């Protein structure tokens, strides 16, 4: 077999990969549009709004302002002060005083055998009284119908867990190089429209910014105690719900909830570092495989589209076709998720950041070190 034949076959394979990624992205985009057609509920069973907060002085006020303004009538708000060292507790006490009977505060310190966020979420659930447990991060800001929309979605699709993509705001070019990486799985392999239909735990996804559980099913799976030492506790909880026979719904929350996850490039890299390697179950074989596949699928076709020696030129149209579909997929994602216009032009840089942060975490964990996040070491 000649080199020309091999390279052409490879170029055709990259074109097929590009088409696949575009189709998966398009189908998920269509699902997000369909899933957003829900009538928000304004009343119903008690919903417990549960907010873990560690050093969230800059965000907690805006979050609580949006939660106390919810249209849904039957709710309670409980905030867990996770041993904050800034003004978080002072702000929280002000809201407890201002909204007696609606806002409650609890708190505690990190306990052996736990990561901070799973512990905070578990303690919040233990203090809750609602038939539904609505966990949300302290840096989220909610429209008045966010609770009603999530509950309406759960009831419409008979789900035991509802999660989804909020509108992730990007305030700098540095963040733009990192934050879009959270959509990579659902561009390449995860059929969001199938999550609530399939029974397999492998077809499940969740984002910890919003997790709405049916309280009875949450108790059935043992709560966050089951993932007490997981960094990606959201994904593992979704898989656990599926394994126990529950139904997970992943929906579009961008019209109802917004969040700026990080403040700059450095914080975005640190945030991604603590999650991406854990998502691979800290398996170096999987990481090596992904590191090999990414250049083959995403980087080499770009080079082949620009230049090839004359005797390989018949492969170039296939490389260009693959790149066209990849850019189109990123363009579709950019429009659907309201990302900065330049994201489709820098997707190779986004992938480089994903791989470098994964290897950084792998190196740190292998040498007994950890990633620092909010004053704690995560490994």
- CATH architecture classification, 34-263: Alpha-Beta Complex (3.90)
8's enclosing H/E stretch is helix 3-35
pTM over 0.75? The answer is: yes
List the structure tokens of 343. Answer: 């994201």
Domain ranges of the chain: 3-29+273-378, 34-263
3-state helix, strand, coil in the chain (%, to 5): 55, 15, 30
Dist. CA 101–CA 87, nearest whole Å: 23
CA distance 25 to 20: 9
Look-up: residue for tokens 């719904």?
249
Q: What are the pLDDT tens digits along the chain (379 aa)?
A: 788 889 999 999 999 999 999 999 999 999 999 999 999 999 999 999 999 999 999 999 999 999 999 999 999 999 999 989 999 999 999 999 999 999 999 999 989 989 899 999 999 999 999 999 999 999 999 999 999 999 999 999 999 999 999 999 999 999 999 999 999 989 998 999 999 999 999 999 999 999 999 999 999 999 999 999 888 899 999 999 999 999 999 999 999 999 999 989 988 888 887 777 777 777 788 889 989 999 999 999 999 999 988 888 999 999 999 999 999 999 999 999 999 999 999 999 999 999 998 888 888 777 766 566 566 556 5
């Amino acid at each position: 077999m000649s080199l020309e034949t091999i390279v052409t076959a490879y170029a055709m394979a990259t074109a097929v990969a590009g088409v696949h990624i575009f189709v998966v992205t398009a189908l998920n985009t269509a699902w997000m549009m369909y899933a957003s057609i829900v009538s928000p509920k304004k009343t119903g069973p008690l919903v417990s709004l549960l907010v873990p907060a560690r050093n969230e002085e800059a965000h907690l006020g805006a979050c609580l302002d949006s939660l106390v303004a919810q249209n849904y009538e039957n709710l309670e708000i409980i905030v867990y002060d996770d041993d904050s060292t800034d003004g978080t507790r002072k702000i929280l006490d002000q809201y407890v005083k201002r909204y007696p009977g609606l806002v409650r505060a609890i708190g505690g310190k990190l306990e052996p055998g736990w990561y901070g966020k799973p512990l905070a979420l578990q303690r919040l659930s233990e203090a809750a009284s609602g038939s539904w447990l609505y966990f949300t991060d302290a840096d989220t800001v909610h429209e008045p119908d966010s609770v009603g929309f999530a509950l309406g979605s759960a009831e419409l699709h008979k789900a035991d867990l509802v999660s989804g993509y909020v509108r992730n705001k990007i305030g700098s070019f540095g963040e733009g190089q990192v934050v879009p990486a959270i959509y990579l799985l659902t561009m390449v392999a995860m059929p969001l429209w199938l999550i609530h239909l399939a029974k397999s735990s492998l077809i499940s996804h969740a984002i910890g910014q919003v997790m709405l559980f049916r309280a009875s099913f949450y108790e059935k799976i043992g709560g966050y105690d089951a993932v007490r030492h997981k960094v990606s506790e959201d994904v593992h909880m979704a898989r656990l719900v599926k394994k126990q026979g529950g139904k997970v719904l992943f929906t579009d929350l961008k019209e109802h909830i917004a969040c700026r996850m990080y403040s700059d490039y450095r914080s975005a890299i640190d945030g991604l570092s603590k999650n991406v390697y854990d998502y691979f179950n800290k398996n170096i074989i999987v990481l090596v495989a992904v590191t090999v596949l990414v250049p083959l699928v995403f980087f080499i076709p770009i080079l082949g589209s620009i230049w090839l020696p004359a005797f390989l030129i018949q492969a170039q149209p296939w490389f260009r076709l693959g790149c066209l579909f990849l850019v189109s997929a990123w363009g579709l994602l950019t429009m659907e998720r309201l990302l900065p216009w330049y994201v489709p032009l820098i997707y190779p840089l986004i992938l480089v950041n994903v791989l470098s942060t994964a290897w950084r975490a792998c190196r740190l964990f292998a040498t007994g070190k950890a990633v620092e996040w909010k004053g704690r070491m995560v490994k």
